[in-house]
Amino acid sequence: MLVFILIPLGVSVYYTFTKWDLIAPAPTWVGLDNWRYLLHDSRIVKVMGNTFRFILFGPTVYLVLGLLLALLLRNGGRATSGFRAVFILPYVLATVGVGTIWRWVLNDRAGPIAQLLDVFGINSPQWLFDPKWAMIAIAAATTWQALGFGMAIYFAGLQDIPKQLYEAAGLDGATPFQRFRYVTLPQLSPIILFLTVTALISALQLYDPVVAMTGDGFGGTAAAGGPQDSTRTIVLYLYNQMFQYNESISGLGYASTIAWFLAIVTIVFTVAQWMLFQRRRSRGERRPRRGLLRRKAGA
Amino acid sequence: MKQATDARSSRRRTLHGQQHSVARRRVVVRVLLIVSAVIYLVPLTFVVSSSFRTDTNMYNPTQWIPNPFTLEHYSNLFETLPLLPRYLWNTVFIAGLSTAGTVLSSALAGYGLARFRFPGNRLILAGLLLTLMVPPQVTLVPLYIAFRTVNLVNTPWPIILPVFFGTPFVTFFFRQYFLSLPRDFDEAARVDGASWWQVFWKIVVPLSRPAFITMAVLTLIQQWNGYFWPSVFLKSKEQWVLSQAMVSLSGQYASRQGEIMAGIILMSLPMVLLFIFAQRYIVQGITSGGVKG
């Protein structure tokens, strides 16, 4: 593991200070050029913006809807495991397959959404060909695929909440909403943190669905990221700069710089969320439960 | 009044040891569940249904149950993608080997981190948590160059080797899981003269079945469906995995909807069956390992 992670990590830091198009025999040292270029690269702003749009419409919905479904599932009775299997099924499918399926779901003439809109006399937008909608469409497809997994984890967390807590709240005359707010939510907080962190990390690394839903298929990435760059993500841009673009900056050096930029963004986000949850937790009266968080803190 | 009902219902809930709620609320919840499950299944039903439709009926909305029913798309698939058996073998090889490697190496590393105090233990753990946050794309460039230098691009090894000796997430997961196992068993066996190696195989592994199944199935699914790493390292057609074949199919033969859907089904079927079989362990494994420690 050390050989395949730590050494490449070190080497890739070195590459961020070099330029190498893979044709030259060795990288040339260029100092901070890549980093300077990155800070002025308008496409970095664009791809980050795209990623945040994705987070707004994908992971956010996933976290909320997953919890709602889990709460519903709690009352599923004997059919619970059947329902769970239905929702979790798309999680097992290949992302590229899901992309293909959603190309049909979003088809502006034959797809089910278009047909539903048609009933209300609304003309369906050309989802994947409209820069306004394309990223939202990708977020919808990704959420559809991941939701069941989130739901299953929430559900398992709900099962672990001691029944006495609800009993006590019931005796105190708490309304269902208050029970949710003061028992369910705080008890679920390690689960919520786990799901938030993992969802955000994978959102920042979004790649497969974009290629499957906007690419042309030949080698996969030639057209991906469109329309008008509205679905280009950081990782796709990294791939473009590594293999496809032929700009003065392109090559492995700049690709490494983008990768480290992504790493920094990820670390900042993760640590920020963790601190946010810690503060919430220390404000509450409840003693923290043993969890991922505390282990992390202990490490 | 309402509060009184709630209090009563929650008392009743504990009496029966399970969740009985007001009948009306239960009906509403059931209906909501069924509606969302149906909406959820629409895309999947379409995939299955259209893989059996004839081309003329492909976009006919009355054909949810295909009539006439045809298997031609499944057989055509082998003509459209003449190398399909090859892709299947590549995928099986890569996914199988990398899953076996990831799970075994990570479990051993996680065991070491959970049970032994050695100098650098904490440092390694901190490094592990840091690499959890660093996206794998960071190591992509140096690995690409390394594998190019030793002429291994366009072979399965660049995909297998980087995960074969363990991955940070799986290692961390196993460490958390092993920490939750009581040490008494280990120590009892040690007193009886078992080596650490024997303790691991004879005691820890059997006790951690859900963790092993969970990580093996999740890693296998990930590797089976993976697209990014193969798309970087496997450029020549003979070396492709199934996911690359699928992307090429849906791009190049976009009009052949039936074949595309048949392809998705064939590619997904093994993982779907595996997951259904292992579902119980997986939910149990994840919640007891990664989340709660």
**Each residue's pLDDT tens digit, A128-158:** 888 888 899 999 999 999 998 889 888 888 8
Torsion of CA B167, B172, B178, B183, to 10 degrees: 120
By the 8 A CB rule, do B173 and B132 touch? no
CA pair distance A63, A65, nearest whole angstrom: 6
Q: What is the pLDDT of residues A83-133, one digit of tens each?
A: 888 888 888 888 888 888 888 788 777 777 887 888 887 877 878 888 888
Does B264 lie at the interface with A, CB-CB under 8 angstroms?
A: yes
Q: How confident is the model at residue A16 (pLDDT cuts 50, 70, 90)?
A: confident
Nearest-CA residue of chain B relative to A163?
B14
Phi, psi of B62 (to 5 degrees): -90, 5
What the block records as the tokens of B222 is: 């990930």
Q: What angle do CA B277, B81, B162 make, to 5 degrees?
A: 60
pLDDT for B192 equals 83
Higher pLDDT, B23 or B273: B273
Q: Write down the mean pLDDT value for chain B.
A: 80
* Residue A115 identity: Q
Domains of chain B, CATH where assigned: 2-69 (no CATH), 78-291 (1.10.3720.10)
Average of pLDDT values for B135-139? 77
Architecture of the domain delimited by A2-263? Orthogonal Bundle (1.10)
Mutation site, A3, A7, A12, A218, interface B, largest B CB count within 10 A: A12
Average of pLDDT values for B6-35? 64
pTM beyond 0.90: no
Between chain A and chain B, how many beta carbons pairs sit less than 8 Å apart? 290
Chain A residues inside the 8 Å CB shell of B47: 101
CB proximity under 8 Å: B 220-239 to A? 221, 224-225, 227-228, 231-232, 235
Range picked from A24-38, A76-90, B95-109, B170-184 for highest mean pLDDT: B95-109
What are the counts of helices (DSSP H) followed by strands (DSSP E) for chain A? 15, 2
CA pair distance B109, B112, nearest whole angstrom: 5
What the block records as the tokens of B219 is: 């890693």
Phi, psi of B37 (to 5 degrees): -65, -40
Torsion of CA B111, B113, B116, B121, to 10 degrees: 160
Q: Which of A95-99, A209-213, A283-287 has the lowest mean pLDDT?
A: A283-287
Chain A residues inside the 8 Å CB shell of B41: 86
Mutation site, B5, B42, B149, B247, interface A, largest A CB count within 10 A: B247
* Nearest by Cα to B137 from A258, A13, A66: A258
Q: Where are the domains of chain A?
A: 2-263
Phi, psi of A5 (to 5 degrees): -120, -55
Chain B residues inside the 8 Å CB shell of A169: 10
A96 → closest Cβ in B46, B131, B247: B247
CA pair distance A26, B74, nearest whole angstrom: 48
Cα distances (Å, whole numbers) of residue A95 to A113, B221, B263:
20, 11, 13
- CA–centroid distance for B143 within its chain: 24
Cα distances (Å, whole numbers) of residue A285 to A202, A217, A279, A295:
33, 55, 12, 20
User: Predicted ipTM?
Assistant: 0.75
Mutation site, A83, A101, A175, A262, interface B, largest B CB count within 10 A: A101
Inspect the interface and report whether the beta carbons of B6 and A170 lie closer than 8 Å: yes
